[in-house]
Amino acid sequence: MIDAHTHTHFSFDGKSSATDMAERGKALGLEYMAFTDHYDRDYAHIERYKSVPQMVLTDYVEAVTKMKEQYPFLALGIECGYSELSEEDYATTLPYEKLDYVLNSIHTVDGVESYGKDYFEGKTKEEAYGAYLKKILKSLDAKYDYDTVSHIGYVRKSSPYPDPALTMKEFGDVIDEILKKVVQKGKTIEINSNIKSKDFMPTAEIIKRYRELGGENVTFSSDAHIVSRVGEMYDVAKEMVKSCGFSYWTVYRRRTPVKIKID
C-alpha cells in the first residue's frame, strides 16, 4: 500500500503533526508515503490570498529529511500550485537536490481559487471546467521540473452544476491533449481520493483513456490533511487502476521513478 500525497502541520491547512502522520503510515504498513506539503507560490502573487501562510521551506526540508531516518518508507515531497506568475519562484527556489518528489497542481485559475464558489459565478460549466483544463495543459510546460500531475478534476470539488461530472464526452478534446502531453513527457498521473464522491480525481474513464494513449505511470494519493484519512479509498483505487490495465504504481525517490507492484 502506498500514499503519495499527504499534508502535515507544515501546510497552512494541515491538521496533524508530521510525526503523527508518519506514525499512522507506519501503523498502516505503507510501503511508500510522501509528505507533499503546500508550497503555494501561486497564492503569493494574488492579492486576496497573500495572507495565506507560506511554508518555511528550509524548516520543512530539514525536519522531513531527519524523519526519513526513522521512517524509511517516507519521502520528502512538495506540492506546487502552478500559475504563470509563480513559475519563476519555483524554478529558482525548489531545493531539487534534497527532494524526492514534486507534485504539480492547479488550485487557482487566473487569480481565483477553483475550489471557491466565486470561481463559478457567471460561468457556464463549459467555461469553468474548460478554463481549468486549459490551465492544467499549460502547467505541463512549467519552467520548473516536476514528477506528477496532481488531482485532475479538482474543479469538481465544489462545483455548483446539477451534473458536476468531468467527462470525456464533454471535455474529451482538451483531456486528450493533456494526456498525450503527459505521456510524451513521461510524467505520472495521480489518482486522488480527496473528494466526497465515488469517483476519483481523475475518474476511471480518464485513466482508461490515458492507458489507451500509452500512459504507463500512475500513483495513488489520499491527499490526507489529517491522520484519519491516510490511505483512504486505497483498495478501491487499486482495483480501478488494475481494471484499466496497470500493474505498477510509480513513486519517486530522489526524483527517480520507482515501480511498486500493485498488491
Question: Which residues of the shown chain bind Zn ion in the complex (CB under 5 A)?
Answer: 79, 105, 223
Residue 133 corresponds to which amino acid? Answer: L
- Judged by beta carbon, residue 42 or residue 223, the one nearer Zn ion is 223
CA 257, distance to chain mean position in Å, is: 16
Contact 180, 218 (CB under 8 A): no
CA 100, distance to chain mean position in Å, is: 15
**Pairing verdict, β 148-149 and 101-105:** parallel
Q: 212: Cβ–Cβ under 8 A, 6 or more apart, which residues? A: none
- Residue labelled with grid coordinates 500509452: 214
Torsion sign (Cα): 83, 86, 92, 98: negative
Distance between CA atoms of 61 and 76, rounded to whole angstroms? 7
Minimum gap (Å) between residue 239 Cβ and Zn ion: 23
Residue with nearest beta carbon to Zn ion = 105
Cα dist. 124→66, 156, 260 in Å? 48, 13, 41
Minimum gap (Å) between residue 203 Cβ and Zn ion: 17
C-alpha cell at 254: 530522489
Q: Please state whether the peptide bond connecting residue 95 to the residue before it is cis, i.e. omega within 30 degrees of 0.
A: no
- Judged by beta carbon, residue 105 or residue 139, the one nearer Zn ion is 105
**Pairing verdict, β 248-253 and 112-113:** unpaired
| 260 three-class SS | strand
Residues 153/155/157/158 CA torsion (nearest 10 deg) = -160
Minimum gap (Å) between residue 106 Cβ and Zn ion: 8
